[in-house]
């Protein structure tokens, strides 16, 4: 059976990040042929074009991990109605120098969770705009603008029973999206 490697980018550095918790929990809903690797991004320096030909070891490591993946799962909070700066930084590093874009062609799914009533709708829309410029085919439906509520996660940190049908459908559609693009 073919194995699918998914690079997971969580756009939050916060220790108790709801988005990291969501990324970990939703991966457990995927079939066994899918493996999820959360990419370390906190050690990346701020992107500077002057460093393109001499990228930091952390940048080279991140790019190699993304390059080895079959697909992307990006789970982002919403900061000031957009994506966090750390997420933009990782996307910029991965797309540079010109002609060496590790994101290109990798099928992506986007999720996000927030205490706000609109979830991460604006951040996800901005992220879709950026990913389009990076040649990343992005799953359009179902959209998942998730609000942190009691029952989203159970005591073990897994997806709660009330949220499970929606998120199981989301991950099933994501799995089909990746398989269609990787085949």
Least confident of 23-27, 41-45, 105-109, 140-144: 140-144
Instruction: Kindly report whether the peptide bond that precedes residue 173 is cis, defined as omega within 30 degrees of 0.
Output: no
Measured CA to CA in angstroms, residue 139 lies from 25, 33, 53 at distances of 19, 19, 33
Whole-number Å distance between alpha carbons of 31 and 86:
30
**pLDDT bracket for residue 165 (50, 70, 90):** very high
Whole-number Å distance between alpha carbons of 69 and 142:
23
**pLDDT bracket for residue 183 (50, 70, 90):** confident
Q: What percent of the chain has pLDDT over 70?
A: 100
What's the pLDDT at 118?
Answer: 83
* Region 86-100 average pLDDT: 97
What's the pLDDT at 100?
Answer: 95
Radius of gyration in angstroms for the set of CA atoms belonging to the chain, rounded to a whole number: 16
Q: Please tell me whether the overall predicted TM-score, pTM, comes out greater than 0.85 for this model.
A: yes
* Region 116-136 average pLDDT: 94
Average pLDDT, the chain: 96
């Amino acid at each position: 059976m073919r194995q699918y490697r998914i690079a997971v980018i969580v756009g939050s550095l916060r220790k108790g990040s709801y988005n990291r918790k969501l990324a970990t929990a939703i991966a457990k809903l995927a079939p066994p042929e899918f493996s999820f690797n959360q990419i370390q991004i906190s050690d990346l320096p701020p992107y500077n074009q002057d460093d393109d030909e001499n990228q930091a070891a952390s940048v080279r490591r991140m790019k190699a991990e993304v390059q080895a993946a079959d697909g992307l799962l990006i789970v982002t909070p919403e900061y000031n109605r957009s994506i966090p700066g750390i997420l933009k930084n990782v996307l910029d590093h991965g797309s540079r120098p010109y002609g060496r874009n590790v994101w290109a062609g990798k099928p992506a799914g986007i999720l996000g969770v927030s205490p706000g009533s609109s979830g991460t709708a604006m951040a996800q829309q901005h992220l879709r705009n950026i990913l389009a410029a990076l040649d990343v085919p992005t799953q359009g439906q179902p959209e998942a603008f998730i609000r942190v509520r009691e029952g989203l996660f159970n005591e073990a940190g897994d997806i709660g029973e009330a949220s499970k049908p929606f998120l199981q459908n989301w991950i099933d559609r994501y799995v089909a999206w990746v398989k269609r693009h990787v085949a």
